[in-house]
Amino acid sequence: MKTTTVRLYSLDYSNLKTYFAAALFILGNLVLPQLCHLVPQGGVTLLPIYFFTLIAAYKYGWKVGLLTAVFSPVLNHLLFGMPPAGVLPAILLKSILLALVAGYLAKRVNNVSIPVLALVVLAYQLVGTLGEWAMVGNLSLALQDFRIGIPGMVLQVFGGYLFIRYLIAK
């Protein structure tokens, strides 16, 4: 697999760029789910709420990722009612895990590749599924992303790779 070296950042909470970058990614996480919800079952199939969180954390560090991970689902819930209150804690858990894993691996490997992004997506989904199972006590519900959301995971890996590599790699 091809590995591409990109300029990765680790923005701090004292830096205004952190909040500007997070705001842009949060906006992306507000718009993309609305577009995906135009397609029947688009939200649960494409998992759009995680897309810009992955990019934010991988490109700009876990702090930007964490801001994006927390505010994206909460604002989507408050503005659009999606995700519903019942699944919001599980989505927050997975979103936060995604930000932490993506930020950590990006700093550790210092490049972007499809296998690394696949590892990020698999890691947050596996641990998040276990956490969701513990929260809701229903394994079938916790496994929903693996039963229905595989296209969304593929979109995160390949779309995230292309987005990081071509649009913000400069």
Can you spell out the DSSP letters for 64-86?
HHHHHHHHHHHHHHHHH--S-TT
* Residue linked to tokens 């590599």: 165
Cis peptide before 83 (omega within 30 of 0): yes
pLDDT band at 8 (very low <50, low <70, confident <90, very high): confident
Integer CA distances (angstroms), 26 to 64, 71, 114, 152, in order: 10, 7, 23, 18
User: Which is nearest to 148 in space by CA: 135, 130, 162, 129?
Assistant: 129
Phi/psi zone of residue 47: left (φ > 0), alpha (ψ -120 to 50 degrees), beta? left
Residue 81 clears pLDDT 60, i.e. is over it: yes
What is the pLDDT at residue 70?
A: 98
Q: Where are the domains of the chain?
A: 16-167
What is the pLDDT at residue 10?
A: 83
**What's the rounded mean pLDDT across residues 93-121?**
96
Cα–Cα distance, 13 to 41 (Å, whole number): 36
Percent of the chain residues past pLDDT 90, beyond the cut:
82
Considering the domain 16-167, what is its CATH architecture? Orthogonal Bundle (1.10)
What is the pLDDT at residue 2?
A: 60
pTM of structure: 0.92
Residue 157 clears pLDDT 90, i.e. is over it: yes
What is the pLDDT at residue 100?
A: 97
Better pLDDT: 15 or 71: 71
Amino acid at 116: V
**What's the rounded mean pLDDT across residues 55-62?**
94
What is the pLDDT at residue 7?
A: 74
